[in-house]
Amino acid sequence: MRRLLRVIIVSGIVLATLLLVVAGTGVFVVRHSFPTYDGTVELSGLDADVEVVRDANGIPQIYADRPSDLFAAQGYVHAQDRFFEMDFRRHVTSGRLAELFGKKALETDKFVRTLGWRRVAEKELGLLTPATRQYLDDYARGVNAYLSNHSGSGLSLEYAVLSLKGTDYHPEPWTAADSLAWLKAMAWDLGRGGMDDEITRTKLASKFPARNVASLYPQYPYDRNEPIMSTGAVGSDGKFTAAPAETEARRGMLSEELLKSLDTVDKVAKGLPTLLGSGDGIGSNAWVVSGQHTTTGKPLLANDPHLGSTMPGIWTQVGLHCNTVKVSCPYDVSGFSFSGLPGVVIGHNNAISWGFTNLDPDVTDLYLEKFSGDGVIYNNRVQPLITREEKFKVAGQDEEVTITVRESRHGPIISDVGDDQREAGELAAQRLKNPEAYGIAIQWTALTPGRTADALFAMNRAQDWQSFRNAASLFEAPSQNLVYADRDGHIGYQAPGRVPIRNVGNGDWPVPGWDPQYRWKGFIPFAAMPTETDPEDGIIVTANQAVVPKTYQYQLTNDWDYGYRSQQILDRIRAAGKLDVNSMAAIQLDTKNRIAEILVPYLLQIAIDDEFDRQGQDTLRNWDFTQPADSAPAAYFNIVWRNLLAFTFQDQLPKGTWPEGGSRWFEVMRTLIMQPNSSWWDDLETQQKESRDDILREALVEGRKEITTKMARDPSSWEWGKLHKLTLTNQTMGQSGIGVVDKLFNRGPYELGGGSSTVDATAWDASKGYTVTATPSMRMVVDLSDFDKSRWINLTGVSGHAFTSNYTDQTDLWVRGETLPWAFTKGAVEAAREHTLTFSKPEN
């Protein structure tokens, strides 16, 4: 005890000394990394001077004579604003987080290295066009030019904090593969939904009959929520057609050893850092309307991707302009980019605009592999495994850690990651009296090298629908819904991506890897992927709902979003009359809760005797079902909703499968509410059998108690935003648990309206609480009649440096639902000019 006390005392002295040092030098350390936005900087390899014009929000517009200069300057600018974020991302994507954060990050590194994101990225380099390869190298040249003159706290405050922890780390030069590896992270975060559902279904199937599991995964409600296209099939020529066509999956293996391995795979996968985000709140809205619906007679396009809420935000804004647009320098594009990746991902150029939402097809399959010696069984024969060693440097320890990664014909054995996998396999073999062990392999389309980087640059320079589709044909992972508009008045939709064709089954369950009938036969041809141009009604809405009706011959997924957001957007557009930029932006802020519209009539029918309890119920009368931050009925309803889900399902479902409360649970409850005596309503922890009305009453009464405890007795003091808060959290330092460090990097909390599966999609996880878990990461509305009338906003700001003026300068506007003018033409950019940085060739 004395020794412990001494350690505490010494630690306290060290901490006090550290705080004094920080107090004395804090201003210098914090400001040391602030970038210079004015002046002249020499940058080797330039043909001519490059100019970077920034507005008051620090948004850079870059002007150059040739593409190589343009992308080199973008690399420098990204490094100026967000190098630590870039460095963190490349450590995640290459499985090297433990080099920065020690042993606690090692399990994540093992999983990423087992998947081989970086290895695939390096293979992709050889597939790209010479121009794309050159642009990646030019971008890296710009990043490294910045690194050559900045280090330690001069690069970013985070490095100063790491040095205080004793981490001796110096960033290595940036490479083209560092940029490409980020595309693998995109594909993982936006394409892992199929794997997550596969694991969850299997866990549920171990406890419930198939019909019970099916009730938790309802069919898409085509009769109420329209798919993106009302008709669709593949014609005899193999091409997608809007004309209707003529109109079973087998369940995978289910065993105790599979469930044990799945538990660990699920745990490790969910432990990966949130790069774009994961879970029920990840989705997006994007829609486009033709000139027949607008005040200008030209199209309008809106997009707001719903992703994880990080500090800094996922996106950074940029404009990339050739001084003279011509064949040798074809770029005049502006929009949202990722730090670490050249080009613009979402935005517009001088002729077209485009937006993304997640198509989320099922592009991953889990295979239960049966081991035999050093190989696996396939088609009654033993096939050798491919093996490789991966070594990990770990901060705080001298010795490297080494693992052996094994791959079957289906992909990496991901059940090798973690401490209890092999033991589980051995126990399973003993129970089965079988010398064979078992594991889980993952087959995932993004592990096949592709040309998505080529697609991004091709989109940036596309001038019409055909050139845009040609670019989309190269976009292999992650599969997205692409919406399109051009200045000539055309609008369109295209689904790109590499989507598997399964010989047997539909990807809903893990399947036996030893049985060749479960192989992938190939991929859906691009010509057969859903597409549409200039639909008769002049409206295309994508919000992760079903893309095509059941007449489409290929399977994309069984796990669409259930269409509550998309239908609300459609209804708003159809009721709006002529739209302008402001009315498009207003739709993005729609907070109507469509499950509340369904449930509240049932809640109001419940007899509640106690006047105090009835006060909560009374707030729901005459409610319009919208959820602004100051709404009392929204606050009460969402507490009741959370309790309703908990009282209905938590007594029967395993904890890891408890309802998150998003669109799937909207649809589950919409069906269940009409079945008052369903077994789901019964509380297994009581002796009597409960019905629907018993659970509704309990949710109402307990909800009244909870809101009183959390807020006030008087309903006039209830506000949804007081529960539903967003804290922008730095992915590394902001989760240290040390208050002073967290406050350096995090911002908030902010009180928000909206909710899960509302158009203003500020998601929350009902199994955990009311805290916002995902948000619209940006919002944009593009006016094809005049690009300078377009509007945009970022969740945070362009800067990743804590305490700079552009760290969160867009956040307050975003919270209020406001946007910024989006200057595009040279005249508009000049009018907003606040800073000018010139890159010049070195004199010698």
Q: What is the tens place of the pLDDT at every residue in 829-838?
A: 999 999 999 9
Provide the pLDDT confidence category of residue 14 given band limits of 50, 70 and 90: very low
CA pair distance 558, 392, nearest whole angstrom: 38
Residue with tokens 């006090």: 16
pLDDT at 199: 75
Question: Does pLDDT of 204 surpass 90?
Answer: no
Which region holds residue 5: left if phi is over 0, alpha if psi is between -120 and 50, else beta? alpha
Taking residues 241-249, report their average pLDDT.
50
Q: Which of 665, 803, 662 is closest to 744 using CA atoms? A: 803
Taking residues 29-44, report their average pLDDT.
89
Domain ranges of the chain: 594-625+632-718
Question: Does pLDDT of 694 surpass 90?
Answer: yes
pLDDT at 261: 60
Give 794-830 pLDDT, tens digit per residue: 999 999 999 999 999 999 999 999 999 999 999 999 9
CA pair distance 676, 681, nearest whole angstrom: 8
Looking at CATH, the fold of the domain delimited by 594-625+632-718 is given as 1.10.1400
- Characterize 465-474 residue by residue with b for buried, 16 or more Cβ atoms within 10 angstroms of its Cβ, and e for exposed: beebbebbbb
Q: Which of 357, 74, 301 is closest to 791 using CA atoms? A: 301
Among 32-36, 210-214, 376-380, 440-444, name the one with the lowest average pLDDT: 210-214
DSSP annotation string for 132-170 = HHHHHHHHHHHHHHHHTT--GGGT-HHHHHHHHTT----
CA pair distance 636, 110, nearest whole angstrom: 44
CA pair distance 232, 531, nearest whole angstrom: 9
Question: Does pLDDT of 20 surpass 70?
Answer: no
CA pair distance 350, 496, nearest whole angstrom: 23
Sequence-separated contacts (24+) of 520-526 with Cβ below 8 Å? 520/365, 520/443, 523/445, 523/498, 523/499, 524/499, 524/500, 524/554, 525/238, 526/472, 526/473, 526/496
Q: Could you tell me which residues come within 8 angstroms of residue 164 by beta carbon, excluding any fewer than 6 positions away?
A: 18
- Which residue type occupies 676? P
Give 63-73 pLDDT, tens digit per residue: 999 999 999 99
pLDDT at 169: 82
Can the peptide bond before residue 535 be classed as cis, meaning omega within 30 degrees of 0? Answer: no
Pick the residue with more confidence: 266 or 538? 538
Question: Does pLDDT of 435 surpass 80?
Answer: no
* Structure tokens that stand for 659 in this block: 């309802």
CA pair distance 262, 406, nearest whole angstrom: 17
Average pLDDT, the chain: 89
Strand extents, DSSP E, 413-519 = 438-444, 480-486, 491-494, 500-502, 511-512
Please answer whether residues 562 and 225 qualify as being in contact, where contact means their C-beta atoms are separated by less than 8 angstroms: yes
Give 656-679 pLDDT, tens digit per residue: 889 999 999 999 999 999 999 999
Share of the chain above pLDDT 90, in %: 73
